[in-house]
A and B are shown apart, each in its own frame.
Chain A
Amino acid sequence: MTEPPYPAFNTLAIHAGAQPDPATGARATPIYQTSSYVFDDVEHAASLFALEAFGNVYTRITNPTQAVLEERVAALEDGTAALATASGHAAQSIVFHTLLEPGDHFLAGRQLYGGSVNQFNHAFKKFDWHVIWADATKPESFEAALNDKVKAIFIESLANPGGVVVDIEAIAKIAKKAGVPLIVDNTLATPYLCRPKEHGANIIVHSLTKFLGGQGNSLGGIIVDCGTFDWLASGKYPTLSEPCPSYNGIRMAETFGDFSFSIACRMLGLRDLGPCISPFNAFLILNGIETLPLRMQRHCDNALSVAEWLDSHDKVDWVSYAGLKGNAYNKLAGKYLPRGAGSVFTFGLKGGYDSGVALVSNVNLFSHLANIGDTRSLIIHPASTTHSQLTSDERKAAGAGDDVVRLSIGIEDKDDIIADLEQALEQA
């Protein structure tokens, strides 16, 4: 008997992690809306607490609906395991809590989602973790920023919102030489467009809130363990390589091998910090993922059409979409995002601040809000909203100058998307 080949991406998006429910035969993954699970007996309970047996104890640590989501995303990213969390930011907090000790440093590409910049600059400082900023468009800037205390490097594969495609392989080489893991936030690309593990990432994080869930209804985050970093050999990460006082002295990396990072994140980080995902959110995101390949392709095709149309519009000064020929990142997009350059990008209005305000005030199909990665097309004028507390100069430095508009192109009919922009631009 020949064994069928390992399933491809579309099949995994629907099936990975999900078998019919053993108790009821339900084919869709049930929402296990429960806080806790009965033990079979005292011995079973003891084995679960000692991590000797697989099984559920309490939903802050594991939940069967969440588990299907985790295995699904791990399979799509070709990782060894994953851990879902309450939000993308929760995922990042747990990753760094597992890797860093007080006083440690990490490098991050400056071209990041603004919320991550805040998290790294301010919230992490209270844990005595220190970010050193490098330039994600210049891989050599990471090498120059290294020091003995650096324990990790963090980048976005496709940076939000600027349309910057990062040369993951070049930065992965620097991380490897320095003996530290490379963490890639793959939120904007999703594994449909880019699989960072293939380019040398060791840990992948996502905000599931965006394209993976894809319909703007649920917060969620996830950590994918690529299983490619040798924590025992490194010895720089005591949470993984030293005996664990709260689990009888086991060493995570020895007991759980190539999925030990995910187990350490769950059994220590999530257990102790607490930001678990709701089973209902896990269910909704899981349903979203089933159509990820179809949605993502349409997002990209629509975005390219809209970007080309804007590029030739009189009132538009510039368009920053890596899918456009002649864009500075078009070559890297060809390598890292061959199926499309995503659907989030910015453009500049010749009319500046007032034009931006007029545009977002006159759209009728686009929704004016602060999110990305929805079936619906979304628009925001950062200078008058997310970045309104900054001075004009500060806004410019953050890539949110007065003229900048950010779009997240949805999966509506592209002619309707363009028609809405056309009528709103007439009034801008």
Chain B
Amino acid sequence: MKHDQYSDRYIRRLLTTHKTFAFVGASPKKIRPSYFAMKYLQDKGFRVIPVNPGHSGKEILGETVYASLADIAEAVDVVDIFRNSEAALEIAKEAIEIGAKVVWMQLGVRNDDAARLAEEAGLEVVMNRCPKIEYGRLSGEIGWAGVNSRTISSRRPMLASKGIQHRVIRGD
């Protein structure tokens, strides 16, 4: 598949069928993008498991930090890479080994070799995207900040069961 652009339908399917993310390169610092994204996905009902050898054994947002993907005992659906593009190839190999379904690279991260390897092993791939932004875009929440969601819809947005200012993504 081509990775310059993704259809909304593709991203929507990934975000409505998978529930457990591993964040490789997750930071305990409250002001880092990975922390923002982790908090947001947790709020939307996802499980997010942080991976960062420099902080293993500590906790981020109530989750234990692991040194590597292989150390995680439970099944991981999506491996989200918050590292530089070069590091993505090794991480994609590990994602294949632990049986993940999706390799996701953050905004600014792109490694076509890693993508090819993962796809050959049957995984799906997203590069250069942030799951928080994509979730906000497809649920309509991001429009509250004047951001162009690049989607239109004549259907009523779906509210989350908790609270008022929370929307969820509609599956197809």
Interface residues of A (CB under 8 A from B): 1, 3, 6-7, 11-12, 15-17, 19-22, 25, 37-38, 40-41, 44, 47, 50-56, 62, 64, 66-68, 70-71, 74-75, 79-84, 243, 248-251, 254-255, 257, 259, 262-263, 266
**A75 and B144 form a contact (CB under 8 A):** no
Inter-chain CB contacts under 8 Å: number: 119
19 further interface pairs, Cβ-Cβ under 8 Å (given A74-B148, A254-B33, A257-B107): A16-B148, A17-B149, A19-B153, A19-B155, A47-B39, A54-B141, A55-B165, A62-B144, A70-B143, A71-B147, A79-B148, A248-B30, A255-B33, A257-B130, A257-B133, A259-B145, A262-B145, A266-B145, A266-B146
Among A1, A51, A71, A254, max chain B CB count under 10 A is at A71
CB distance from A347 to the nearest CB of B (A): 39
B90 contacts the other chain (Cβ, under 8 Å)?
no
Expressed in whole angstroms, the Cα–Cα distance for A263 and B36 within the complex equals 15
State how many angstroms separate the Cβ of A51 from the closest Cβ of chain B: 8
| Pair A25/B156 contact, Cβ less than 8 Å | yes
List chain B positions with a Cβ less than 8 A from chain A. 7-9, 30-31, 33, 36, 39-40, 43, 107-108, 130, 133, 136, 140-150, 152-159, 162-167, 172
Provide the main secondary structure of the chain A interface: loop
**Complex contact B136–A54 (CB within 8 A):** yes
Assembled-state Cα–Cα distance A64/B145 (Å)? 9
Contact check: which of B8, B145, B157, B166 meets A19 at CB < 8 Å?
A: B157
Residues from chain A with a CB closer than 8 A to the CB of B43 are: 47, 53
Q: Is the CB of A81 within 8 A of B154?
A: no
What is the chain A residue whose CB lies nearest that of B146? A70
Question: Can you sample 18 A-B contacts with CB below 8 Å?
Answer: A19-B153, A20-B154, A20-B156, A22-B156, A22-B157, A22-B159, A51-B36, A54-B145, A62-B144, A67-B146, A75-B148, A79-B148, A84-B146, A243-B31, A250-B31, A251-B31, A255-B31, A266-B145
